[in-house]
Structure 1
Amino acid sequence: MRKRARIIYNPTSGKEMFKRALPDVLIKLEKAGYETSAYATERSGDATKEAERALEQEYDLLIVAGGDGTLNEVVNGIAEQPNRPKLGIIPMGTVNDFGRALHLPSNIMKAVDVIVNGHTTQVDIGKMNSRYFINLAAGGKLTEVSYETPSKLKSIVGPFAYYIKGFEMLPQMKAVDIRIEYDEEVFQGEALLFLLGLTNSMAGFEKLVPDAKLDDGYFTLIIVEKANLAELGHIMTLASRGEHTKHPKVIYKKAKSVSISSFANMQLNVDGEYGGKLPGNFLNLERHIEVFTPNDIHNEELTQSEDVNTK
């Protein structure tokens, strides 16, 4: 019996390039033995609902064509279910952090080749309260950049739009009192922002988590303590080179579960989208979804038995 694949795609991502390539994608998947159909999202939440329907109809494979936001929605549609299908990813967003972390090709047909070749990897996802994420959860004014950056600016200048918006928001940065419990440790004090990462790539910074592992069951927790503008600018410069982890204002830890609370009105960023406000309870779900990856994905970003170093 032929396997069945369902493509869920954002027709506006990537300057509508996927919509134009869809006939060729369908032909390639059909030749590879998949009976394939496609669904175009129209509004926020559509990808989650369609992923849930695809599970009910017992598709063997879900293919997501879009940015990290579309992928996040699909993961939220399948994460609770025991019969989760394999996920194929065709990165079509502005930054594509998750696709970068998996070393997926930016070329549409080459990304389809990765799926057709059939090599898969089980990766961690995060759970925040009742919501799931695949790349990043964060809080603090600077982390609002991704969902406050105008879509038109992103379409014109691409990932550089985030840097433009980020530097614009620097003067608004303000430290707040926050309590962060992670595994057996506690941070309580003033912080500018926190990040909980599952991969090495966040908002285009591919060295923000230089020791990232995609399947070890641990978040990377980064806390930036109260700092002045000059110190914060220095931290951002170091982050572009992966050298921020030793800065005295940066706490860099590994944790399986994290609980964060504050009396401040701190908004949350979940995979680049608005994720509500604190408090938040975060849990790493180890090797929870299976995704198609290149055969030559770098081993240093995947581990099944290595010890996790903390400092």
Structure 2
Amino acid sequence: MINPTKIYIIVNELSGSGNGKKVSIALSEQLSEKKIEFSLYPSQYAGHTIQLAADLSKKHDANLTENKQLLLIIGGDGTLNEALAGLGETQKHIPLAYIPAGSGNDFAKALAISKDVAKALEQILNCKEPKKITILHYHERNLDEVGYAVNNIGVGFDGATANFISISSVKKKLGAIKMGSLTYLVSLIIVLFKQKGFPIEVKVDNVYKTFPEAFLVTVNNHPYFGGGLKISPKASPYDNSVDLIVLQKVSLFKFISLFILMLNRGRHLNHKDVHYLQGSCIQILSNQQEYVQADGEFLGKKSIDLAIKSSTRYFWIQ
């Protein structure tokens, strides 16, 4: 069991339609009861968590590295994504603690992190040492952009869905009636009728494959996707492989059938229009401009030369 002298908490108070603030208040009460010193650092704008994580990790490097102090993130998967970007490659040795407060929380589900604040805190404090996991590390070669994802990176359908969520009021409306977890599913249904097939080429290690009518292209770090859908049941954050699923453009009836098969113990992987590939490095290429997302955050609509591999990080998880 660890006994930190202080915990630095970065919180996205707006995550989960305001759930982040509620979680931070509950956590503050828990830490005060346990007489653990802490400081709160609210994220004020998109991208602010990147700067906060970078500043705190560098300023307190020695104590965070020696596990005397902890850096804890409260928010959704997008907030955690920003924290990893803040650590980057130079501070990747610093372990993170995480308490989920978003609408989807796929990473927490994959790593069995409780959504109950008291239980999540006990999970952290009961750790003897940080655990090594893998995340996705991408390099977009056309624009020379690099980044990370704890859940998945998608091109096409889920990228378009992430864009729709970012520009529509669906998330806000569902959050207001405490149904924010349905945001992805509702948006998915709306985008389903708009997204068209597109040509891509993928390179998995040294093997090339082409898909003239790709519809959904997603690289996964663990099984869950879009708020708990088990799209990639073979993926694991504890190995060094990268898992790719390509769904070709299908009829609405087939799409619904595949969705049902996905809910039924991952049987969608056996369908002829679903292609599952696994390797140490995956490259996705397309001259056609398509929507791209990482951990549900919209990265833009662009032509694609995207290389994805795994990278090691450390978390306070049991």
What is the TM-score normalised by the length of structure 2? Answer: 0.85
Alignment of 1:148-187 (within 5 A): 148-149=164-165, 150-155=170-175, 156=177, 157-187=179-209
Q: Is 1:84 matched with 2:104?
A: no
Structure 1 residue 83 displacement after superposition: 5.6
Aligned to 2:288, what secondary structure does the other structure show? coil
Work out the CA distance in 1 between the residues paired with 2:186 and 2:29. Answer: 40
Whether contact under 8 Å (2:135, 2:221) holds in the other structure is yes
Whether contact under 8 Å (1:224, 1:249) holds in the other structure is yes
Aligned residue number for residue 58 of structure 2: 56
Q: CA 1:39 to 1:111, structure 2 compared with 1: closer, same or farther past 3 Å? A: same
Work out the CA distance in 1 between the residues paired with 2:94 and 2:109. Answer: 22
| Structure 2: runs of 5 or more not aligned | 65-69, 140-145
Aligned residue number for residue 209 of structure 1: 232
Aligned residue number for residue 46 of structure 2: 44
CA-to-aligned-CA distance 1:210-265 (integer Å, 9 cap, x gap): 12221211111001123222222222222222111000001111121111111211
Q: CA 1:17 to 1:134, structure 2 compared with 1: closer, same or farther past 3 Å? A: closer
Amino acid at match of 1:131: G
Q: Which moved more, 1:91-100 or 1:167-176?
A: 167-176
Amino acid at match of 1:136: N
Work out the CA distance in 2 between the residues paired with 1:281 and 1:3. Answer: 42
Q: Is 1:114 matched with 2:137?
A: no
Aligned residue number for residue 157 of structure 2: 141
Work out the CA distance in 2 between the residues paired with 1:83 and 1:135. Answer: 17
Aligned residue number for residue 12 of structure 1: 14
Amino acid at match of 1:236: F
Aligned residue number for residue 135 of structure 2: 125
Aligned residue number for residue 235 of structure 1: 258
Tell me the matched-pair count.
Answer: 293
Whether contact under 8 Å (2:81, 2:148) holds in the other structure is yes
Aligned residue number for residue 224 of structure 1: 247
Amino acid at match of 1:229: L
Whether contact under 8 Å (1:260, 1:278) holds in the other structure is no
Structure 1 residue 34 displacement after superposition: 5.0
Work out the CA distance in 1 between the residues paired with 2:74 and 2:157. Answer: 29
Whether contact under 8 Å (1:3, 1:33) holds in the other structure is no
Amino acid at match of 2:197: A
Q: CA 1:82 to 1:73, structure 2 compared with 1: closer, same or farther past 3 Å? A: closer
Structure 1 residue 3 displacement after superposition: 3.6
Structure 1 residue 69 displacement after superposition: 0.5
Whether contact under 8 Å (1:146, 1:203) holds in the other structure is no
Q: Is 1:259 matched with 2:269?
A: no
Question: Among the aligned pairs, what percent are the same residue?
Answer: 25
Q: Which moved more, 1:230-239 or 1:187-196?
A: 230-239
Aligned residue number for residue 142 of structure 2: none
Aligned residue number for residue 80 of structure 2: 71
Q: Which moved more, 1:51-60 or 1:10-19?
A: 10-19
Whether contact under 8 Å (1:65, 1:90) holds in the other structure is yes
Whether contact under 8 Å (1:142, 1:173) holds in the other structure is no
Q: CA 1:252 to 1:2, structure 2 compared with 1: closer, same or farther past 3 Å? A: closer
Work out the CA distance in 1 between the residues paired with 2:19 and 2:104. Answer: 15
| Structure 1: runs of 5 or more not aligned | 295-311
Candidates 189, 199, 202, aligned match of 2:211: 189
Aligned to 1:262, what secondary structure does the other structure show? strand
Work out the CA distance in 1 between the residues paired with 2:18 and 2:137. Answer: 31
- Over aligned residues, Cα RMSD in angstroms? 2.2
Q: CA 1:152 to 1:18, structure 2 compared with 1: closer, same or farther past 3 Å? A: closer
Work out the CA distance in 2 between the residues paired with 1:113 and 1:79. Answer: 27
Work out the CA distance in 2 between the residues paired with 1:71 and 1:13. Answer: 11
CA-to-aligned-CA distance 1:89-136 (integer Å, 9 cap, x gap): 110000101011011111112111111112532111111111111110
Work out the CA distance in 1 between the residues paired with 2:272 and 2:94. Answer: 44
Aligned residue number for residue 294 of structure 2: 270
What is the TM-score normalised by the length of structure 1? Answer: 0.86
Work out the CA distance in 2 between the residues paired with 1:90 and 1:2. Answer: 16
Whether contact under 8 Å (2:11, 2:24) holds in the other structure is no
Q: Is 1:285 matched with 2:301?
A: no
